[in-house]
Amino acid sequence: MINKKIYKKGVKIITIPDLRWLRRDIKTTGLLPNILSKQLAVEKKAFESWFIDGGNITEGSASNAWIIKNLNTIVTHPANNKILKGVTRDTLIKILKKNNFNVIEKPFNLIEAKNAKETFLTSSTLSVLPVIKIDNYNISNGKPGNITKKIMHLYNNYIDKNNTSLSKELKIA
């Protein structure tokens, strides 16, 4: 069970070299490096680990990585063979664009992440989760930022609305 306090407090992540194979876009049973990196994060009292490949952050052990450059510019790694893009990622991109955010799918490095206005991660089980610390470096003064909170609100509203619609459809059927 996920402790709901992490959404108000935000989480710490660590970065590690990405030693996985180059077809990360294919979900396989060979997830040992992901599991080991998640375990390393736990051992270092962090919530998640973000992989670095060729100087750029690709994704987390079980999440997608995002940075907020300014009030309306959000950056995430492009959907290619280096990430498992995920349904939550795709859904959030649509929501952000619909709400006039400029979503840029391009690689970003650790310096850009540490200098970002805010950072967050996404996954199917976590939705949108604020990242407040990367490798012991505070992001957004060590607190979830207002833009991330707005994104969380937009995503949660979208899910609530669509779950309600689905529930109504199921009741009719």
Model confidence over 145-173: pLDDT tens digits? 999 999 999 999 999 998 865 445 434 43
Convert the pLDDT of each residue in 52-77 to its tens digit.
Answer: 999 999 999 899 999 999 989 999 99
Q: What is the pTM of this model?
A: 0.85
87-98 and 146-172 are packed helices; what angle lies between their axes, rounded to 10 degrees? 110
DSSP state of 80: S
**Given the residues 8, 9, 12, 27, the one annotated as active site:** 27
Report whether pLDDT(40) > 50: yes
Residues 94 and 6: their CA atoms lie apart, in Å, by 25
Report whether pLDDT(1) > 90: no
Residue with tokens 């995920």, as numbered in its chain? 86
Report how far apart, in Å, the C-alpha atoms of 136 and of each of 4, 59, 108, 133 are: 22, 18, 19, 6
Q: What is residue 6's predicted lDDT score, i.e. its pLDDT?
A: 94
Known catalytic membership, residue 27: yes
